[in-house]
Structure 1
Amino acid sequence: MYDITGAVSLWDHLAETSKPIIIYGMGDGAQKILDVCSLKNVKISGFMASDDFVRGHSFAGFEVKKLSDIERQFGDCIILVAFGTHIDEVIQRIIAISDRHELYAPDVPVIGGGLFTKEYAEEHRAELERVYSMLADEKSKQVFDGWLEYRITGRIHPLLRNQTDKAEGYEILDLGGNETYADLGAYNGDTITEFLEVTGGQFNKIFAMEPDGKNYSKMKRIHYKLSPYDFRTVNAGAWSCDTVCEFISKGGRNSSLIPYEKGKPVNPSRIKEIEMRSLDSFVKDERITYIKYDVEGSESEALDGSKTVIKRDKPKLLVSLYHRTEDMFALPIKVTELNPSYKLYLRQHPYIPAWDMNLYCI
């Protein structure tokens, strides 16, 4: 496993450097990184955006500038990428900037608190080593090592050198034409479309859960040709039991619904009560052969709500591992406790930062 002890901590390096530090991006990611910098006594000198997005914006009291203007003002500087992207053109632009400047993509959690630092990795070394030892092939171990190096150092190249297309993940799953598929976090039906493409449109049944009303309606429209008997849906979030939870509605893929933390300032109009269902309750006695979990930080609860199905049917699983700080070790351990016979494969599909990191359980 990657040498945690010998790693250079990103946050320590940023606190000690004499170079100007520039945050690349605006919005939620930039605010999270700015908040961590404040906690770590890291001084930020400015903000930048891609040329197409610079239109007189300001962020956190700074004028948002083009890279060329930043270079004229500061010369050599450190760039912190503060947004996520899977678009190849944008990834190549980030790589090109990294050829000219010291560049990092700080790891901050998509959902929840905590920060994956060198100290955090040392604290959880036993769990990390346990998961590493459970991985079924060398490629998975390479992905794990690159992920661990990235999260401690912030360097993007350990991620990039181990990324693979989604097709490789589907090869691991080896889906057939008679699958009963449960899509937890079905979004607008895009992963159902992928599933149908992989299986040539052949399947037994599809069960889909999506909590966001707009996304749910899109999914139903896109897949209107599927028979209601074969395509069973519910406008609800995946959880450990059947209940109602308060959420903040944000829309979009990466944070469509996030738990509302009482006492945290938020526009009251965005707080919604959402129906939550366990998969065990939703599918009842149906035999499930494949489950996808991408539920925006609720993967642990969704696994708890699938205990009966997993123990009874031993379905293939695809589990997202990037929403919470602890997901990379806590979720694989939970999966193997539910079914010790699973073989675990780890793949990350093209993305900066370490999003679209998936665990395949066969």
Structure 2
Amino acid sequence: MSFDEHQACVQQQELESALALARRDGISIMGAGGFARALRVACQGQGIKVHAFIVSSRTQVDNEIDGLTIHVWDTFPSDLLHYPIWIGIFNNHINAELTGLRKQCLALGFRDVRTPQEFFSWVAPAMGWRYWLAPLEGYRSQWPLIEQARGLLVDDESRVAYDAIVSFRLGIVLDDPITLCAEQQYFPESLRRWMPASGCSYLDGGAYDGDTLRMAQSALSPAQIYAFEPDPGNYQRLCAFTAGQASSVIQFPLGLSDTPAFLRFRSGQSDASSLDSEGDCTIQVAALDDLFRHTRIDFIKLDIEGSEIPALQGACKLIAEAFPPFLAIAGYHRWDDLWRIPLLINDLSKNYKVVLKVHKSNSFDAVFYAYYQDHQ
């Protein structure tokens, strides 16, 4: 795909008009969860009045939040249709797919419907890190790298998925959802021929409670598993799962990065616990090259909430070995992971072939798979 400067200019003018309208008339917010509540606070900081939250079911929430009324879709006052509505729902659930929610709002009679990727530029400083959401001008400024990374993908399916993600995140294509891969995440059947044989060594960065270890045992039958999980609660559940496992499992209560360090961490967020300068605890992180100097690793899976790039940088020697590991790297936590991860993989080893598959709604669980071209 190529950058359309005229299209970008037209879109920018439209969004500036939408922001002016929101500041003049106020908005409603679809949803009433954590993202919606943070959006309301951010809007107040921008001088944008929020008239109401609108939700699909009364069983989800109370009648109001901080004095703001919550209405249900089929009973909200008709005068709210005169105001723009911003979708305050942002996750990977199938019922939270943004193009579908946008269509629902239009069907209800709202004329000005805005998705998170459209309005995030206006509220980003107050919203903080929200996975891949970023001001649209950020994507536009990185277009040469976006195109360069696309050129590294080895098949048409990957390039189609890549284009769909970029168009979706830029708010260019909001009528149809991104086509999802129906194969198992991290171990897709179409790539099994490139994965290591039974009896391999498997390394799981972000092992959570053992969920991906179960899949790895089924898909790979590894002889040795190395599982990394820094969240204290998740680590306890991981150890409970691995107790008595047939294959050898070594658990590490560590995070992964490019150098050893102690860093602040926000724990207790289920599978979304992550590094955070204002987190509630401190964890230790380590570099894989330091831990496995004399150990062969055949498969590396990383899903570590935005730390994938430093973790890969800390594994550059492992990846440059005579038998580079198969890689399955989450590519959706940071907005620029979409191009930085494939470019980094290529820098670490020119022999890798890179494939992209999207496993969850709204471009979440987009995973880059990389295999060594001589492994067949």
**Which residue of structure 2 lines up, in the alignment, with residue 97 of structure 1?**
104
**Which residue of structure 2 lines up, in the alignment, with residue 125 of structure 1?**
143
**Which residue of structure 2 lines up, in the alignment, with residue 183 of structure 1?**
204
The structure with the larger Rg is 2
* CA shift in 2, pair 1:89/1:245, >3 Å: closer
Residues 18-29 of structure 1: pairs in structure 2 closer than 5 A = 21-29=27-35
How many Å separate the matches in 2 of 1:343 and 1:34? 44
* CA shift in 2, pair 1:13/1:153, >3 Å: farther
How many Å separate the matches in 2 of 1:63 and 1:335? 49
Can you give the 5+ residue segments of structure 1 that lack an aligned partner in the other structure? 262-269
**Which residue of structure 2 lines up, in the alignment, with residue 212 of structure 1?**
231
Can you give the 5+ residue segments of structure 2 that lack an aligned partner in the other structure? 372-376
**Which residue of structure 2 lines up, in the alignment, with residue 281 of structure 1?**
290
**Which residue of structure 1 lines up, in the alignment, with residue 184 of structure 2?**
167
**Which residue of structure 2 lines up, in the alignment, with residue 360 of structure 1?**
369
How many Å separate the matches in 2 of 1:42 and 1:127? 35
* CA shift in 2, pair 1:336/1:194, >3 Å: same
Q: TM-score, normalising length from structure 1?
A: 0.83
Whether the 8 Å CA contact 1:14–1:42 is kept in 2: the answer is: no
Report the Cα offset of residue 3 of structure 1. 4.0
2:270 aligned with 1:252, yes or no?
A: yes
Whether the 8 Å CA contact 1:164–1:348 is kept in 2: the answer is: yes
**Which residue of structure 2 lines up, in the alignment, with residue 267 of structure 1?**
none
Q: TM-score, normalising length from structure 2?
A: 0.80
117-126 or 23-32: bigger deviation: 23-32
Whether the 8 Å CA contact 2:32–2:61 is kept in 1: the answer is: no
How many Å separate the matches in 1 of 2:285 and 2:216? 24
Report the Cα offset of residue 216 of structure 1. 1.0
Whether the 8 Å CA contact 1:22–1:77 is kept in 2: the answer is: yes
SS in 1 for 2:204: strand
SS in 2 for 1:317: strand
* CA shift in 2, pair 1:341/1:172, >3 Å: farther
Residues 136-177 of structure 1 show CA distances to partners (whole Å, capped at 9, x for unaligned) of 11111111111111111175545x242212437612441342
* CA shift in 2, pair 1:161/1:196, >3 Å: same
SS in 2 for 1:144: helix
Whether the 8 Å CA contact 1:278–1:305 is kept in 2: the answer is: yes
SS in 2 for 1:207: strand
- Answer 1 or 2: higher relative contact order, Cα 8 Å, separation at least 6: 1
**Which residue of structure 1 lines up, in the alignment, with residue 219 of structure 2?**
198
How many Å separate the matches in 2 of 1:22 and 1:345? 40
Report the Cα offset of residue 129 of structure 1. 0.9
**Which residue of structure 2 lines up, in the alignment, with residue 12 of structure 1?**
16
Aligned residues: 347
**Which residue of structure 1 lines up, in the alignment, with residue 354 of structure 2?**
344
How many Å separate the matches in 1 of 2:77 and 2:352? 51
Residues 284-337 of structure 1 show CA distances to partners (whole Å, capped at 9, x for unaligned) of 322111111111111111111111111114111111111112211122211111
